[in-house]
Structure 1
């Protein structure tokens, strides 16, 4: 049995013009869920309550929560922390050990809006709408054009016109620094080629389900079936919140609500969500120029970010361990296509983690903003390249020591010699092919509709090029399967026709 606890940060989910143009607005909505085996609850509770008691003077309304850290205290990351905040955060992060399971969900509020506006635009063989939507969100968040933001709400019928006008102006401005802005101009030019009128959205109401969809994947990946999920209570007493209802609708079991005053687990989740959110927010503001600044230039972190003592560096290392090492899983951090702030944070943690000591940072100190920026840009480029890949990425969950099942239910053997070969007789043989792929040794495979269960077969090596071609098309968004396929063997050579 496992106990999980949910809280969130930056949770202004009323999406309208006043919220997204407000001074305190931050685009990302964060969810943190922490949990542990039930038999560990008493031990973790004892540690955490002792920690809270030590810092009782920092409680607000009887609770020690993430708002004990103010946003301006993250101005230059942990380098801005004073001795008291360093000690508090260090002791908090020390409690998070291998007994604790952690899940994060990060969503861009603007991406949610753009997805609603462009819901009728889909990927095809010629146009990658995922990449285009990503580029629209990134550009609007980077430059914050008031006319575009206002038209989303007040005049959605001319939203695309204002977007096109802004992109054209931006392309001309970027020409002042073609080396730095070549990739951005290419992306904006691609957007201009495909943008047409969009239909006004039916609703911009927030979707509460997404964090729980990711958490459901996380539980299944971890093979956790027996659990409870407690959500920090919001709204009127006696009424189920939209958050709780969303968790139930996703299919999560044993869900309930409590006030965070009544359970330490909710306060741990609040702390993690708040700290990560404030650090991401500070990174965002530090890496973006004033939107009214017409000068096209590179934006780097200030050197102050790297003026760290040993304890401040240790905070980065602890957070790295929590986010990227403890009970790691493919679904541990669940995010949308636009997740640049998250990617920059993870790159920063990775960059800081490779230093063995604060003294080592002093070597070549002036170059750290450039080096760290290169690390972030590399991660962002990798992410953007992954967006182009339309093939789903799913974890391999072994059913036995010999095989796992693909998403069609067919057995995939770890030893390819145990994988049956597809029978292709002289002449023509027709099968209903559900999917095509390769094993780890690059042998072509095809999953065939069969009874009582679908089966995966090895294909002749001669069909490797064909398999690579159809996979390449699927990667670009043109999935040809399931389809009836005629496999032919004529004079020892193999041919394929997709009907």
Structure 2
């Protein structure tokens, strides 16, 4: 059998670097730590049927948004403010767009393969490859990278980031290690008696002990070019899981030279670059990637979820570290039709796409779980009446518990290499 797959990406930072104010470009407003890549594909004989459905969808919504026939319908057509509280804050056009999109996915049943890759972790992995560990430690690479990535995402300061991106000799390597250890020490001192931070305390104490007895031999060169190998690695793993040979797959991707060159290293039947403006199938990948990225961004940046920003690590005692961070209740103040859309997303986007490699993350999968746990939580209620019988404040608590349980289960798996 022959298969055709299409690909596009969202929240794509080609180069990871500090900006002029010392802030990582993946941490500025409107940026997301996760790179989102979406493949969708099908048996080539089914492509005309699916394409016809995509065309009908696009024609309807191009007219809805007042676009001319030569204008591309991109995921950005849905304004970011629609996602502030997830589906609860969708206006009519946004609601109809995603209802029809996920109905299309449910009807056509494409093969989906999704990458949600932490850009911070990508940098941390370069560091990990250049640490000389004390031989007395039996290092689990996955837990080390996960814990250090999470530490940088939550407790970074400009000082720490600047030292990471300024390693080029023995002196600057030593300086980075000294600053990192001081950050860990300050955080450990503040969280040791906080109940919600106890698992984190143990992980960070292990990090401190390991790094304090390790040597860093590393050159950061000021920036990192993002790698697209995880895209094709994830797709190859899913194809293998489905007993499809890479050589039976033709790829069509949005114009991106480095993504194209990386794909050439894998043994697909063919790979072709196109302009998404001229390829409606690639635009389907864009619509899906845009939804995933914007939902994750909205959850992560919800006021109830945000940790206090740290200006100076030695002043971290001024930060509120003890208050539990939970999603605002507005996310759960749903009408019937909004609940129904979450249910449709669950049935079209998760059910039927439950292969292990449907979603590819690296060690840090936290942002992927933010979204998947939310969809699974809402869909766990067998009716809107049952869902609506619970106060929104309690839904926030229950979702938080589900998310923490899924994160803890994941950490146990990587801790024991399962």
Which TM-score band applies after superposition, normalised by the shorter structure? 0.7 to 0.9
Alignment partner of 2:216: what SS? coil
Measure the CA separation in 2 of the matches of 1:281 and 1:343: 12
Alignment partner of 2:207: what SS? helix
2:254 and 2:274 in contact (8 A); partners too: yes
The alignment status of 1:353 with 2:379, answered yes or no, reads yes
**Which position in structure 2 is the counterpart of 1:385?**
412
Q: 1:66 aligns with which of 56, 63, 75?
A: 75
**Which position in structure 2 is the counterpart of 1:283?**
299
Alignment partner of 2:264: what SS? helix
2:327 and 2:396 in contact (8 A); partners too: yes
Q: How does 1:470-489 map to 2 (within 5 A)?
A: none
The alignment status of 1:75 with 2:87, answered yes or no, reads no
- The alpha carbon displacement at 1:362 in A equals 2.5
1:2 and 1:36 in contact (8 A); partners too: yes
The alignment status of 1:101 with 2:111, answered yes or no, reads yes
Measure the CA separation in 2 of the matches of 1:252 and 1:108: 26
**Which position in structure 2 is the counterpart of 1:485?**
none
**Which position in structure 1 is the counterpart of 2:22?**
none
**Which position in structure 1 is the counterpart of 2:140?**
128
1:11 and 1:29 in contact (8 A); partners too: yes
Q: 1:159 aligns with which of 163, 176, 186?
A: 176
**Which position in structure 2 is the counterpart of 1:371?**
398
Q: Which has the higher contact order (CA 8 A, sep 6+)?
A: 2
Alignment partner of 2:73: what SS? coil
Count of matched residue positions in the alignment of Structure 1 and Structure 2: 384
Alignment CA distance shift 1:327-1:137 (3 Å): closer
Deviates more, 1:79-88 or 1:203-212: 203-212
Question: Aligned-residue CA RMSD in angstroms?
Answer: 2.0
Any unmatched runs of 5+ in structure 2? 20-24, 311-317
**Which position in structure 2 is the counterpart of 1:429?**
none
Normalising by the residue count of structure 1, what TM-score does the alignment of the two structures yield?
A: 0.73
**Which position in structure 2 is the counterpart of 1:334?**
360
Q: Deviations over 1:368-389 (max 9, x none)?
A: 1111100000000011111112
The alignment status of 1:317 with 2:343, answered yes or no, reads yes
Measure the CA separation in 1 of the matches of 2:139 and 2:42: 44
- The alpha carbon displacement at 1:84 in A equals 2.0
**Which position in structure 1 is the counterpart of 2:43?**
37
Larger Rg over CA atoms = 1
The alignment status of 1:3 with 2:1, answered yes or no, reads no
Q: Deviations over 1:152-202 (max 9, x none)?
A: 113552222211111111112214x52121111111111110103322236
Deviates more, 1:291-300 or 1:341-350: 291-300
Deviates more, 1:14-23 or 1:332-341: 14-23
Q: Deviations over 1:389-413 (max 9, x none)?
A: 235xxxxxxxxxxxxxxxxxxxxxx
Measure the CA separation in 2 of the matches of 1:257 and 1:146: 38
Alignment partner of 1:249: what SS? coil
Alignment CA distance shift 1:138-1:260 (3 Å): same
**Which position in structure 2 is the counterpart of 1:92?**
101
Q: How does 1:332-481 map to 2 (within 5 A)?
A: 332-365=358-391, 366-390=393-417
**Which position in structure 2 is the counterpart of 1:50?**
56
Any unmatched runs of 5+ in structure 1? 235-240, 392-499
Alignment partner of 2:215: what SS? coil
Q: 1:216 aligns with which of 218, 232, 236?
A: 236
Measure the CA separation in 2 of the matches of 1:4 and 1:250: 14
Q: Deviations over 1:18-75 (max 9, x none)?
A: 2134222210001000111222222222221111111224248711111112222211
Higher strand proportion: 1
1:121 and 1:129 in contact (8 A); partners too: no
- The alpha carbon displacement at 1:327 in A equals 4.3
1:110 and 1:137 in contact (8 A); partners too: yes
Alignment partner of 1:64: what SS? coil
1:104 and 1:334 in contact (8 A); partners too: yes
